[in-house]
Amino acid sequence: MYYSSGNYEAFARPRKPEGVENKTAWLVGGGLASLAGAAFLIRDGHMAGDKITILEELKLPGGALDGLNVPEKGFVIRGGRELEDHMECEWDLFRSIPSLEIEGASVLDEFRWVNKSDPNYSLQRLTQRQGQDVPDKALLTLNDKAQKDLLRMFFSTREEMENKRINEVMGEDFFKSNFWLFWRTTFAFQEWHSALELKLYLHRFTHWISSLADFSNLKFSKYNQYESFVLPLTKWLQDHGVTFRYGIKVTDVDFDIRADRKQATRIHWIENGAEGGVDLGPDDLVFITIGSLVENTDNGDHHTPAKLNEGPAPAWDLWRRIAAKDPAFGRPDVFGAHIPESKWHSATITTLDERSQIHREDRQARPVQRQGDHGRYRDGEGFQLALQLDRQPPTSLQEAAEGPDRVLVLFAVRGHAGRLREEVDAGVYGRGDHPGMALSPRRSDGGRRSNCPSSQWYSTVTFWPST
Ligand SMILES: Cc1cc2nc3c(=O)[nH]c(=O)nc-3n(C[C@H](O)[C@H](O)[C@H](O)COP(=O)(O)OP(=O)(O)OC[C@H]3O[C@@H](n4cnc5c(N)ncnc54)[C@H](O)[C@@H]3O)c2cc1C
């Protein structure tokens, strides 16, 4: 889709590229980037679906967009997406993908109808110290100095922010502001993360500033994004003849590198323990979108904390091997070599607690339900917990299994999972608290369960890139 001064060009299809019928496409990784790439190749690039192959290490598509539906273990989502109006490629894509739930509707129609009927809004955006209000919680509380820091960063060049951490360019006043608290709990920033990344986020999400205090700008899919986006997109691709090859771990890509071009000549992989691969010619296109955010995730359960898995990591290893061949392929270790500073936790908590009754009534009152209603919780220095209370269970199976009296599901992200294992070993968490979940000591003292007598807690460790 191409926007010029109006919508004249937005809905016109591109011309068929010359020679596209002779080309094939190999997409490494089966996450949203590859699925979207394949769909755009078919819809806008006029490539036949049967010329496209997706190579995925796991046994299913979707990558970071997941939703584990194993009732005896749990309903696990490693991440929930905060979506919004300006996701131009995403909405352009999903206007063309049929909904699996509503006949004749697109995924975009379905998504828009859900959010139109039940807009997101947070009544309690920030709390601190066990549920107390943050002072002036509707205000950004940026004083003159903090405003100057913010504007200086906003108008700086990329080069001025490169290789710097946020706390090297922003002062204490900025870190004390509600703006920073809003921003960091929305986007998972820490003071030691990349200044350039914060600058780019400020540009990308400037229009969120007016709704930072109530999240009224956010939009959510009805279920987790695996069900709401990945399944319909995968079906559309399969219907168009795209080949999905699961259980293929790509280990390297050879290139013929010249001054004016780089031509991939072979993809190497391991399948069922055996080495394999494919030789490539000038008509073979290769797209490598191997993500990284959920690489080496580990799941905990009722009795076991999630473990930190530092490697081997196929996505990072592949990128490092490719990057060693030419500087143009980037510097993976800027992002991947800081595990202690970039790891984090997420958890879903399912509860039948009567004290969640208010949410149950709320759910029953609404004909359309979905995920939403965020709160952000902070307790003590360096500890933030993002909580998402959903009117809608994150999976359709759960909804079907539990019926109208279903449980409340709470999704939580702890920004920095720094010393969790040590905290668990040191007995910081009260008996019965799930060690994979990062509750503050004050909320779990004396062996009391915090607020979920019949809860199920699941946790994961994921890595968030930082420079
Ligand atoms: C907790 C969390 C919260 C998020 N919140 C938001 C949000 O609010 N809004 C938003 O827009 N985005 C959000 N994101 C980011 C968004 O989910 C990701 O950017 C997006 O899903 C990445 O898609 P991808 O296809 O690039 O990578 P991935 O989804 O990571 O997919 C990469 C795929 O490549 C495969 N792979 C890796 N290495 C190899 C190999 N060597 N061989 C074969 N296959 C391989 C992996 O198994 C994986 O399936 C969030 C992410 C997380 C984890």
Nearest CA to 90 out of 242, 294, 228, 241 is that of 228
309 Cα: distance to centroid of ligand 1 (angstroms): 17
Average pLDDT over residues 246-256: 97
315 or 375, which is more confident? 315
291 Cα: distance to centroid of ligand 1 (angstroms): 5
What is the b/e burial string over 343-363, where b = at least 16 CB atoms within 10 angstroms of the residue's CB?
bbbbbbbbbbbeebeebbeeb
- The CA–CA distances, whole Å, from 463 to 23, 374, 381 equal 36, 22, 21
* 174 phi-psi bin (left φ>0, alpha ψ -120 to 50, beta other): alpha
Pocket of ligand 1 from Cβ distances under 6 Å? 28-34, 55-58, 63-65, 78-79, 81-82, 248-250, 289-291, 293-294, 314-315, 318, 346, 462
What is the b/e burial string over 84-123, where b = at least 16 CB atoms within 10 angstroms of the residue's CB?
beeeeebbbbbebbbbbeeeeebbbebbbebbeebebebe
82 part of the active site = yes
Q: What is the dihedral of CA 20, 24, 25, 30, to 10 degrees?
A: 130
Q: Specify the CATH number for the domain of residue 322.
A: 3.50.50.60
67 Cα: distance to centroid of ligand 1 (angstroms): 13
Predicted pLDDT of residue 366: 46
Nearest CA to 406 out of 375, 362, 457 is that of 362
Nearest CA to 380 out of 456, 446, 443 is that of 443
Mean per-residue pLDDT over the chain, rounded: 79
Distance CA 330, CA 92 (A): 29
Predicted pLDDT of residue 137: 83
SS3 156: coil
Nearest CA to 62 out of 229, 242, 206 is that of 229
Based on the domain organization, do 283 and 417 belong to the same domain? no
Predicted pLDDT of residue 434: 28
Count, in order, helices (H) and strands (E) of the chain: 17, 17
201 part of the active site = yes
Per the structure, the complete domain to which residue 176 belongs is given by 139-210
Q: Does the reported pTM lie above 0.75?
A: yes
Predicted pLDDT of residue 392: 65
- Which residue, 189, 210, 231, sits at the end of a domain? 210
Predicted pLDDT of residue 445: 23
Predicted pLDDT of residue 83: 93
Based on the domain organization, do 244 and 361 belong to the same domain? no
List the residue whose alpha carbon is closest to atom 39 of ligand 1.
Answer: 315
401 Cα: distance to centroid of ligand 1 (angstroms): 29
Range in 103-107, 174-178, 462-466 the model is least confident about: 462-466
Residue 263: inside a domain: yes
- Which residue, 210, 243, 264, sits at the end of a domain? 210
Atom of ligand 1 nearest to the CA of 64: 29
Predicted pLDDT of residue 383: 65
Out of 121, 162, 197, 201, which one is annotated catalytic?
A: 201
Atom of ligand 1 nearest to the CA of 315: 38
Query: Which band of pLDDT confidence, cut at 50, 70 and 90, is reported for residue 338?
Result: confident
SS3 146: helix
289 Cα: distance to centroid of ligand 1 (angstroms): 9
Based on the domain organization, do 180 and 317 belong to the same domain? no
Residue 18 reports pLDDT greater than 80: yes
Based on the domain organization, do 67 and 30 belong to the same domain? yes
Query: Which band of pLDDT confidence, cut at 50, 70 and 90, is reported for residue 390?
Result: low
Nearest CA to 462 out of 219, 188, 184 is that of 188
- The CA–CA distances, whole Å, from 87 to 81, 174, 465 equal 12, 28, 21
Q: How many domains does the chain have?
A: 3
List the residue whose alpha carbon is closest to atom 1 of ligand 1.
Answer: 79
Atom of ligand 1 nearest to the CA of 78: 1
Atom of ligand 1 nearest to the CA of 35: 25
Residue 413: inside a domain: yes
Residue 127: inside a domain: no
The preferred substitution site among 57, 205, 309 for testing ligand 1, maximizing ligand atoms within 8 Å of CB, is: 57
Based on the domain organization, do 313 and 342 belong to the same domain? no
Predicted pLDDT of residue 261: 92
Based on the domain organization, do 112 and 233 belong to the same domain? yes
Handedness of CA 227, 205, 462, 402 (dihedral sign): negative
Predicted pLDDT of residue 449: 23
Distance CA 362, CA 360 (A): 5
Predicted pLDDT of residue 391: 65
197 Cα: distance to centroid of ligand 1 (angstroms): 17
Out of 82, 227, 295, 423, which one is annotated catalytic?
A: 82
List the residue whose alpha carbon is closest to atom 10 of ligand 1.
Answer: 81
Based on the domain organization, do 365 and 275 belong to the same domain? no
Based on the domain organization, do 201 and 264 belong to the same domain? no
What is the b/e burial string over 442-456, where b = at least 16 CB atoms within 10 angstroms of the residue's CB?
ebbeeeebbebeebb
Based on the domain organization, do 110 and 228 belong to the same domain? yes
Range in 8-22, 29-43, 287-301 the model is least confident about: 287-301
Angle separating helix axes 32-43 and 231-239, nearest 10 degrees: 40
Residue 148 reports pLDDT greater than 50: yes
List the residue whose alpha carbon is closest to atom 7 of ligand 1.
Answer: 81
